[in-house]
Structure 1
């Protein structure tokens, strides 16, 4: 695009980035196209532009490479927010050394679900995620702290279940707003283009691997095979009042 060429928009060009940020904030020129994110911009441009937009649910990929971090790949694909590393912190599973970060196996579904619930509780307690390693036994210690602050009795199991409840409500919100099973997925390039350099050189995640990991995640969550929350799961979590959001999403195609 001529305006992008004039700005000199290239990876690593700080001055060009500052100019683009100003244009985005004021929605002038190229900034008006970019102001609502790369998915929106690619849809307006059309053609092959969609293949260049590295997003999940409209949120661009963070600085963690999903092709060489298979837990993170799953976490990004299923996150209600889109490609957000903070909603699961699943990259820690890959960096821990306890899992082969290049292997997409069935264990990751339950592990990523637990990581999401943990991150949700941290956010709800307004605890900085950089403090997550300061606890010896997080749920026990956090439950004791919460009990002392509120004067209400909290157990570690109750706190853990609260994280699951909150995460489930996020999912139900997305379903109500039009989520479809195909939204839990990664950009096509992640599934077909191997990493060209670095310690993960040659790494890629196949559609079959991603599909199997997503299936293991849905199973761990107690959701159905398409990723919807069944009513029996809502009863288990005490969320039956939200049953209308479990299966039938709102049709906003005519909005």
Structure 2
């Protein structure tokens, strides 16, 4: 059996299913506590690691060869919000070093660290911070940017029906123009048609239920670019493993 790929995801919002996680840094996060972005990162990585084979919901109870680990914490009494950390190369560098470049030359607790941030007005600062950190530390942290936000990756008719237990064809198709303007508002509109609501747990369910075809449906969302960025990061990891 191959050793699982150890992955930590840094997201700008809640990274769990609506409750604060209590796992120590770098310990495995159970699937039922993983947030939507963590599940989507697993889904993007799996085909890259398995000859294009798509991720399957059966992996919820089985193994997909990807182990999500709890992110590190900054060594400060006050923990800043992750959105603040992502935009600050000094703070971000501390987390990246802890995950990929531990002190005293010990083994890295993480194979791949992934940064994520919506493609909004705050993205430029995060792009700069990730670039500075990767350049200064010699790391390959990919930055995934759903456009305009993560709901553009999740809002599909059939995924909503499956996640919320609705009958087939009981939810309308999303309006692509509305989704492109404000994906969260469009998801809320569709959910309001049957009294549903957005929360971290249900967004994680949408991430599990959405088909590979629906994830690929709209080129503008950034999903395909995310897969390409993860492919580059995996290639860099493979090259690093070959170093003497």
TM superposition score category, shorter chain reference: under 0.3
> More strand per residue: 1 or 2?
2
Q: Would you tell me which structure has more helix in proportion to its own residues?
A: 1
Relative contact order: is structure 1 or structure 2 higher (C-alpha 8 Å, sep ≥ 6)? 2
- Relative to the length of structure 2, the TM-score reads 0.26
TM-score by length of 1: 0.25
